[in-house]
Amino acid sequence: MTDGTPADGTPADGTPADGTPADAALANVMPDVTHRLVQVPGGRIHLVEQGTGPLVLLVHGFPESWYSWRHQLPALAAAGFRAVAIDVRGYGRSSKPSDVTGYRMLAHVADNVAVVRALGEQTAVIVGHDWGAPIAANSALLRPDVFPAVALLSVPYTPRGRRRPTDIYADMGGAEEFYISYFQAPGRAEAEIEPDVRGWLAGIYTTLSGGTVPLAEISGIFFIPAGGRLCDRFPADAARASWLTDADLDFYAAEFERTGLTGPLNRYRNVDRDWADLAAWQGTPITQPSLFIGGEFDGPTIWSARAIKNFPATLPGLVSSHILDGCGHWVQQERPDEVNRLLTGWLRSLHAR
């Protein structure tokens, strides 16, 4: 199926999937890419592809979409790769299960395997950013036969530990509340975000961009006072991030205004379920060739310094690790040229072996 229509004829998001004004607008965002809907065991995944050659699967994070890879798709295609960026389940035109358990890590891994098969391939290098990084890492961990190499952006690999994640987050928060704890209760974060999706997105994209918040204050952004909201931590006087154009913000806002935020937030609501599901892989390293790219001004990079130091044990196949000076969380959008150079160089080295 290559025309954007599901094999069973069902719509991706409750609207016709072929020939509508919405589809025409989507096609005009990046006219050189191909949009597809492919069937997976849990429903369908919307993907965008460009180029021919070895398959590279790009997995986005929160709150993003396939569009967060808009700078990488043409660069990877020009370098001789078949670049495919998915909408993770819960996002865009991919399926949105109503049951929170439909967003467990095992389901995301199954989606990625099914996408590779639906594209007629046996293997793919997988690249993930933000939540996409743990999804990519666990895809490589659980299915090394399908994913022979993995690149992680912003969030380093941390093997499953001994403590329940929500207990760890509760300890981290102390008198305040760590943002993942804040996201746990269904409807709570949605009530903060959905009244002004565009404004909230502009706030989080800007706040977590490099240079917006002093380095010493970055970690505090992720902790919420009792009775407060995450957006209360957004700097009120910060100019919008320079990498985020009006068109970019319009695209993201339109996607989330159409789909809502519950599906994306349900990923956070499975952290304990993932911990139980992955008990057999406690402490297990990822041995395939790997790459890490983080930002100097990125919270996950800062508080995961120990995880990065443990890469010799947790990522013994690591080819290289890079922290981009002055960069924030949205590395592939903030610094596309640098990220493209690192990704294409790493990919070429894999195929030169």
Q: Is residue 8 annotated as part of the catalytic site, yes or no?
A: no
Q: Is residue 130 annotated as part of the catalytic site, yes or no?
A: yes
The single residue of 35, 46, 108, 329 carrying the catalytic annotation is: 329
Q: Could you write out the DSSP letters of every residue in 39-98?
A: EETTEEEEEEEE--SSEEEEE--TT--GGGGTTHHHHHHHTT-EEEEE--TTSTTS---S
The single residue of 23, 87, 130, 274 carrying the catalytic annotation is: 130
Residue 327 DSSP class: -
Cβ atoms < 10 Å from Cβ of 55 = 21
Q: Which residues are catalytic?
A: 130, 329
